[in-house]
Chain A
Amino acid sequence: MSLIRVENLSLDIHGTPILRDVSFDIAPGRVFGLVGESGSGKSMTSLALMKLLPDGATRAGRALMDGRDLFALDEGAMCGLRGNDIGMIFQEPMTALNPVRTIGDQVAETLVIHGAARRAEALEIARAKLDRVGLDGTRFPLDRYPHELSGGQRQRVCIAMAIALRPRLLIADEPTTALDVTTQAQILDLLRGLVAEEGMSLLLITHDLAVVAGLADHVAVMQSGKIVEQGPTEALFRRRAHPYTRALFAASAHRPARVPTARPDRLLEVAGLRRSYALPRRTLFGPAPRMEAVRGVSFALHKGESLGLVGESGCGKSTLTRAILGLEAVQAGHIRLQGQTPISPIMPKPARAAMQVVFQDPYGSFNPRWRVARLVAEPFHLLPEWPKDARARVEQALSEVGLTPADADKYIHEFSGGQRQRIAIARALINRPDLSVLDEAVSALDVRVRAQILDLLARLQESHGLGYLFISHDLHVVRAITDRVMVMQAGEIVEEGATEDVFANPRHPYTRQLIAATPVIPAAWMKEPVDAPVV
């Protein structure tokens, strides 16, 4: 007996096919994982179930819940169903809550709207639900506002809202993607507990195979609008019958082939760096309290070396990165590039030219009104004069990152996320810098694209003798691409060492905590699949 049964769901938006013949069952009290890369249609599947599709969508197929076809219900009936029978939580807890209403109000709202309770009772239930998701009454009274909570706490509030009416199906669309690893582990634990105790089913949508491996009973793999393979998680992961599933697995475990070529000369030297920010004054004449973002960080990066910097949000790695890039004045300590005079607070142009950066977001990294040729050529501004062969160098840089010279005349929106990240790398390399700062450069990419970009980075490092400062929260990636790694917590570097040593044998408790919190696919599942006959 299934709780919800989707039969041959097909979806077109303005004539563009989005989903084709998607069929699956979700059993009561079980977790169903939907895995796929961006654009595979996994989010659209959940929106179709909720009938929250954009304009111009045409849909075929059925979604049966208690023998009723959800797709045949009118909007009024769907409103009664949403929140009541089907709850939903989203990826971005920062924007999923209304900033001007208290958390208690927002949780109670679901109950009041559905006529399940009057306001006073609703607030009592809200209290109970917030307790249930781990926000206890003494530290998190109902009259807290969302901005007073951290990302993980906000996601807990979203979960409390979604489960307020004890829905039978909870849809979680990338519920932990925006969260730090330790927070992610807590939220996944919470979801696991809710499914077990409240007997609800969970439709878990994610791109992360490891998250699915740890949580889902059944899993379906989606590729361009179709489910290519589905079955019990362990069996499917062990067998990997479909080539696409294999490709996903190979990509997520991918480690680019690279030979450490670090030379003894110091490329970047950071010594005793401190940066603090003034907080709002608490009293009228008292000194303003200060928040120390970076407290005495020292390290060195050698030529041709890959150095990883790992830490969770708020640990100060962004401030450190900005300081190294010369975008932020520091209060103490110095940064030297190739043993030159300190480059902080004012960074001379030649020093800048020796250091470039690739950012996380492939969509925000480019001026949408410029053509690629101009975008890639922007760092030429650092040279004493504009090179005469600028165009040729842009074309060469594009070729180096695997694009064609003709791409120089296109606008940035004509490229996919992975291609944009290639263009960002081309821009960073156009002046032949010695050091490239990769600030979460592959975090926003799908696994297969990520594997390609990592290969590209490894290749460019070898051919150009580049030093990389690789900043990331993703331990897998850092392990794959770096020689040495630093772990940062609360503005300090708590552990530093050769990457393999640190991962195999973490000394600091925080490093151990990070490694333990990172979801992994059990090693036994990852062995080369035996081509056993399909059972």
Chain B
Amino acid sequence: MRRAPLTLWIGAALTGVFALAAVLSLLWTPYDVTAMNIGARLQAPNAQHWFGTDHFGRDVLSMIMVGARISIAVAVVAVGMGMVLGVPLGLLAAANRGGLVDEVIMRGNDLIFAFPALVIAILITAVFGPSAVNAIIAIGIFNTPVFARVARGGALSLWTLDYIRAAEVSGKGKLRISAEHILPNIANLLIVQGTIQFSLGILAEAALSYVGLGAQPPMPSWGRMLAEAQTMISFAPHLAILPGLAIVLTVLGLNLMGDGLRDSLDPKLRRAR
């Protein structure tokens, strides 16, 4: 409890660094990420290229900065989409627990869960062509049932509590109770799940980019940088380590921030500090 502000600050700082890098890359990068320089290929980190260069001689630092934009944007938008679609569905299912609406929503969830994510992603790209936007849609669709389940599970236990009864006696309808009472009280679950899904989102984006369904070259993304680095890991390990580290630190930062946010949103814990 007492360390809540600290985790929040560390998390925010880590996330902030990458967010800043992403924003900065819109205006300026040390080198052009599309410029090849075969003479300077596969350099280890040095004074000119702080993070070294890849097999085309592109600057890795610049690529990580631009990649941050793609990876974070894809993951954030996909998780946001999953939340925006999934949480209301879960709340609706819980409000009608045991009823037809609940059954339809949850079986629909099962249906999406049952499909391998990659198959749907391939389907989407087959129809609309590969791009970062389609990767977002594919990842977002697969985040939806996760949030629907978490929201429903958390809401179900709340629906048995007396303060919900009191709200019903105060004449409030199911939707209003879901929005006013249930949602704020499952926010902590959703934030934690959100940070977990975010890390999975980054990995999913990496996976889609790896099979060529995500961001298209020459647009760098962390996932594709990792994919390309794997064949060269024995003689240019920095190509795998640095984007990998970027993913790890971003995910860690977001998880810490999520934990801290959860604690500081809870009035009970806020006072206990």
Chain A residues in contact with chain B, CB under 8 A?
A: 325-327, 349, 352-353, 355-357, 359-361, 364-369, 378-379, 381-382, 411, 413-414, 424, 427
Contacts and interface: CB of A to CB of B under 8 A. Distances in A.
Interface residues of B, number: 19
Q: Could you say which of A326, A353, A359 has the most chain B C-beta atoms within 10 Å of its C-beta?
A: A359
A16 to B, nearest CB: 13
Contacts of B271: 411, 413-414
A382 B268 contact: no
Contacts of B267: 368-369, 411, 413
B268 A368 contact: yes
A84 B168 CA distance: 50
A356 B167 CA distance: 10
Nearest to A430: B170
A352 B181 contact: no
B100 interface: no
A289 to B, nearest CB: 18
Contact of A367 (B163, B168, B169, B266): B163
Interface string B180-212: 110011000000000000000000000000000
21 contacts: A325-B165, A325-B169, A326-B169, A327-B169, A352-B170, A352-B171, A359-B162, A359-B165, A359-B166, A364-B161, A364-B163, A365-B163, A366-B163, A367-B181, A368-B266, A369-B185, A378-B167, A379-B170, A381-B170, A413-B267, A413-B271
B170 A382 contact: yes
B172 interface: yes
Contacts of B163: 364-367
A325 B165 CA distance: 10
B169 A365 contact: no
Nearest to B160: A364
Nearest to A351: B171
Nearest to A380: B170
A361 B160 CA distance: 12
Nearest to B270: A411
A467 to B, nearest CB: 16
A352 B162 contact: no
Contacts of A361: 162
Given A369-B267, A411-B267, A378 B170 contact: yes
Q: Which 8 A-B pairs have the closest CB atoms?
A: A359-B162, A365-B162, A411-B267, A382-B171, A379-B170, A364-B162, A369-B184, A413-B268
Contacts of A366: 163, 166
Q: Could you say which of A327, A368, A378, A411 has the most chain B C-beta atoms within 10 Å of its C-beta?
A: A378
A327 B172 contact: no
A349 B185 contact: no
A231 to B, nearest CB: 40
A411 B268 contact: yes
B156 to A, nearest CB: 15
Contact of B165 (A327, A369, A379, A411): A327
A414 B185 CA distance: 18
A369 B266 CA distance: 7
Contacts of A381: 170-172
A379 B180 CA distance: 14
Contacts of B268: 368, 411, 413
Contacts of A379: 169-171
A427 B266 CA distance: 23
B172 to A, nearest CB: 6
A412 B171 CA distance: 22
Contacts of B167: 378
A367 B172 CA distance: 14
Contacts of B180: 367
Given A379-B170, A381-B170, A357 B165 contact: yes
A365 B169 CA distance: 12
Q: Could you say which of B170, B172, B266, B271 has the most chain A C-beta atoms within 10 Å of its C-beta?
A: B170
A361 B184 CA distance: 21
B271 to A, nearest CB: 7
Interface in B118-174: 161-163, 165-172
Nearest to B184: A369
Nearest to A356: B169
A187 to B, nearest CB: 27
A442 to B, nearest CB: 15
A325 B185 CA distance: 25
A352 B166 CA distance: 11
Given A411-B268, A414-B271, A357 B169 contact: yes
B185 A368 contact: yes
Contacts of A353: 171
A356 B271 CA distance: 31
Interface in B242-273: 266-268, 271
Given A361-B162, A413-B267, A414-B271, A367 B171 contact: no
A365 B170 contact: no
B185 A367 contact: yes
B168 A378 contact: no
A427 B167 CA distance: 11
Given A352-B171, A369-B267, 14 more contacts: A327-B169, A349-B171, A353-B171, A357-B165, A359-B162, A360-B162, A364-B163, A365-B166, A369-B266, A378-B167, A379-B169, A381-B170, A411-B268, A413-B268
Contacts of A327: 165, 168-169
B200 to A, nearest CB: 28
A361 B161 CA distance: 9
Q: Could you say which of A356, A364, A367 has the most chain B C-beta atoms within 10 Å of its C-beta?
A: A367
Nearest to A371: B267
B64 to A, nearest CB: 39
B165 A378 contact: no
A367 B267 CA distance: 11
